[in-house]
Chains A and B, each alone.
Chain A
Amino acid sequence: MTSNFTIPKFRLPGFVAALGQKLPQWPHAVTLTLGLNAALKMGLLPEGDLAALDDKLFRVRVHDTGGEASFTYRGGLFRPVFRPQREPDLAFAANLSAYLQLLARQEDPDTLFFSRELEITGDTELGLIVKNMLDAVEWPQLRLPLRGH
């Protein structure tokens, strides 16, 4: 990541979430699983740790957009789950800015967890496996066209 562009902490206005909750949720799950499967295909996720994800139900909730996505990992692929029939094995909840900061490796998940900006509930060990798996990914060098000050 470039060091001269930083993602600020922000919270979208309340009406965004109110509106977001009324919109269909399936596009989130589809987009998220497409991204994860692309990472799989590029060999970025370690095969040894993926076995622990088999048949687990995950939920990612974005407080301030009102969006949420549920998905599972089965048969070597991430698959969207549109109408989850049970509580997820692992659930994440945070504002959009926290997710962006995590993905950009700008903030540490423990930092966000200590400051209560990231909620992780469910199977704690599964959460640790996922966290450490994402930490260990060597993302291809991204060249962002954005330049801050």
Chain B
Amino acid sequence: MPALPDLVCPAGSLPALKAAVDNGADAVYLGYKNDTNARNFAGLNFDPKTMADGIRYAHAKGREVLLAINTFPQAGRVADWQRAVDAAVDQGVDAIILADVGLLDYARNRHPQQRLHLSVQGSATSYEAINFCQREFGIRRAVLPRVLTLAQVENVIRNTTVEIEVFGFGSLCVMNEGRCWLSSYACGESPNTVGACSPAKYVKWDKKPGAMETRLNGVLIDRFGDDEPAGYPTLCKGRFEVQGETYYALEEPTSLNVLSILPDIVKIGVSAIKVEGRQRSPAYVTQVTRTLRAALDSLAAGGERYHVKPAWQAELAKVSEGSQATLGAYNRPWR
């Protein structure tokens, strides 16, 4: 069996980082408290001091810290993103996760020794795109968008020497990664411009008798009955009236969960498995990290005998958005 992939877990705060490290993450990924990362939510993320504390904590236990600078520099403010890259290098993160080619070029030239990863926001789905970024910017790893089937992931891995990281668990969206402007349609702001999808200041949860309504900048996104599970207030997961029928016209709220195909993911040579959710709390990070660590260790211990334990699925189902978990694109028949 090939080497076990690294388990890469999210950290939106120092307690979440410690939870990831303590529960078996090989690496944590995080971001600064500003719009240079795509989880720019109020009160979340790291300032230089908490980041230094986090790096010290992770390194003391032999784990890696990856910093996401995965939004796109805005006109007139390119220097803000370049300064974030410089600061990350100074702080001694193990790798910087970048999406913008201009910024990749800057990092490569200014800090040739710094390890660089291509973010999922970079939207590279083919080995040609990934090899281009290796040749031009020296990237060591690429995070694949969640649109490829397992066979397509394998094809990418066979045709590149760049390490490949895939998503293993977390909320799914429409996965038009790095190119999604849906949130801007309702409120003028989106991950690519301000680092947040459906920023909280535009979100309104209205409790009415028997139902709860979600609005994004006044646009009604969904109405949940008292016994229905709620989801994130994003347009892609809204229920809309289309030709007289009201339903999830774009996508149902679901979570990705790859436990059942973990042996295949390892077999094709994936280098790292990523968990979504820097916006979630330390409790979520603990639960998900612990579960995926147990699954990976069980696979390492007895490859052929691997089976998904009901307790793992129960733990992951509890923290999932929506009532169902899927294999996402991994098992789709398309090519």
* A105-B227 in contact (CB<8A): no
A114 CB within 8 Å of chain B: yes
- The distance in angstroms between the C-alpha atoms of A119 and B206, with both chains bound, is 10
* A132-B284 in contact (CB<8A): no
Binary flags per residue of B263-292, CB closer than 8 Å to A gives 1, else 0: 000000000000000011111101100000
* A132-B12 in contact (CB<8A): yes
Binary flags per residue of A116-149, CB closer than 8 Å to B gives 1, else 0: 1001110011011111110111100000000000
**Contacting residues, chain A, for B228 (C-beta < 8 A):** 116
* B318-A111 in contact (CB<8A): yes
**Contacting residues, chain B, for A138 (C-beta < 8 A):** 14-15
Give the interface residue-count category, chain B: 35 or more
Min CB gap A30→B, angstroms: 26
**Contacting residues, chain B, for A132 (C-beta < 8 A):** 12-13, 41-44
A52 CB within 8 Å of chain B: yes
Min CB gap A122→B, angstroms: 8
Q: Can you name the residue of chain A whose Cβ is closest to the Cβ of B19?
A: A105
- The distance in angstroms between the C-alpha atoms of A109 and B44, with both chains bound, is 14
Give the interface residue-count category, chain A: 20 to 34
* A105-B281 in contact (CB<8A): yes
Chain B, 224-243, CB within 8 A of any chain A CB: 224, 226-231
B59-67, B82-90, B197-205: which lies at the interface: B197-205
A107 CB within 8 Å of chain B: yes
> Quick one: which of A107, A116, A125 contacts B283, CB cutoff 8 A?
A107
- The distance in angstroms between the C-alpha atoms of A114 and B205, with both chains bound, is 12
- The distance in angstroms between the C-alpha atoms of A28 and B322, with both chains bound, is 34
Chain A CB within 10 Å — which of B200, B279, B281 has the most? B281
Chain B, 297-329, CB within 8 A of any chain A CB: 318-322
Summed over the interface, the residue pairs from A and B with CB atoms below 8 Å come to a total of 90
* B284-A110 in contact (CB<8A): yes
A55 CB within 8 Å of chain B: no
* A133-B43 in contact (CB<8A): yes
- Determine the main DSSP class of A at the interface with B: helix
> Quick one: which of B12, B42, B212, B321 contacts A129, CB cutoff 8 A?
B42
A115 CB within 8 Å of chain B: yes
Q: Can you name the residue of chain B whose Cβ is closest to the Cβ of A46?
A: B43
- The distance in angstroms between the C-alpha atoms of A52 and B286, with both chains bound, is 28
- The distance in angstroms between the C-alpha atoms of A131 and B200, with both chains bound, is 12
- The distance in angstroms between the C-alpha atoms of A132 and B206, with both chains bound, is 21
> Quick one: which of B15, B212, B224, B321 contacts A135, CB cutoff 8 A?
B15
> Quick one: which of A108, A120, A128 contacts B42, CB cutoff 8 A?
A128
* B44-A108 in contact (CB<8A): no
Chain A, 45-100, CB within 8 A of any chain B CB: 49, 52
* B319-A108 in contact (CB<8A): yes
* A124-B230 in contact (CB<8A): no
Min CB gap B11→A, angstroms: 11
B16 CB within 8 Å of chain A: yes
Q: Given A131-B43, A132-B12, decide whether A108 and B284 contact each other with a Cβ distance below 8 A.
A: yes
Binary flags per residue of B185-210, CB closer than 8 Å to A gives 1, else 0: 00000000000000111011111000
A15 CB within 8 Å of chain B: no
A113 CB within 8 Å of chain B: yes
* A116-B224 in contact (CB<8A): yes
Binary flags per residue of B148-181, CB closer than 8 Å to A gives 1, else 0: 0000000000000000000000000000000000
**Contacting residues, chain A, for B322 (C-beta < 8 A):** 114
- The distance in angstroms between the C-alpha atoms of A116 and B280, with both chains bound, is 16
* A106-B283 in contact (CB<8A): yes
- The distance in angstroms between the C-alpha atoms of A116 and B231, with both chains bound, is 10
* B226-A116 in contact (CB<8A): yes
- The distance in angstroms between the C-alpha atoms of A127 and B226, with both chains bound, is 21
Q: Which residues of A contact B (CB under 8 A)?
A: 49, 52, 105-111, 113-116, 119-121, 124-125, 127-133, 135-138
Additional A-B contact list (14), CB under 8 Å, known A116-B224, A128-B41: A52-B42, A110-B321, A111-B283, A111-B284, A114-B230, A116-B212, A121-B207, A125-B203, A128-B44, A129-B42, A132-B13, A135-B12, A135-B13, A135-B15
22 interchain pairs, CB-CB under 8 A:
A105-B281, A109-B281, A110-B284, A111-B283, A111-B318, A113-B230, A114-B320, A114-B322, A116-B227, A116-B228, A119-B207, A124-B203, A125-B42, A125-B200, A125-B203, A127-B200, A128-B43, A131-B43, A132-B13, A133-B43, A135-B15, A136-B43
Nearest 8 CB-CB pairs, A to B?
Answer: A132-B43, A108-B284, A136-B13, A125-B200, A124-B203, A108-B283, A125-B201, A129-B43
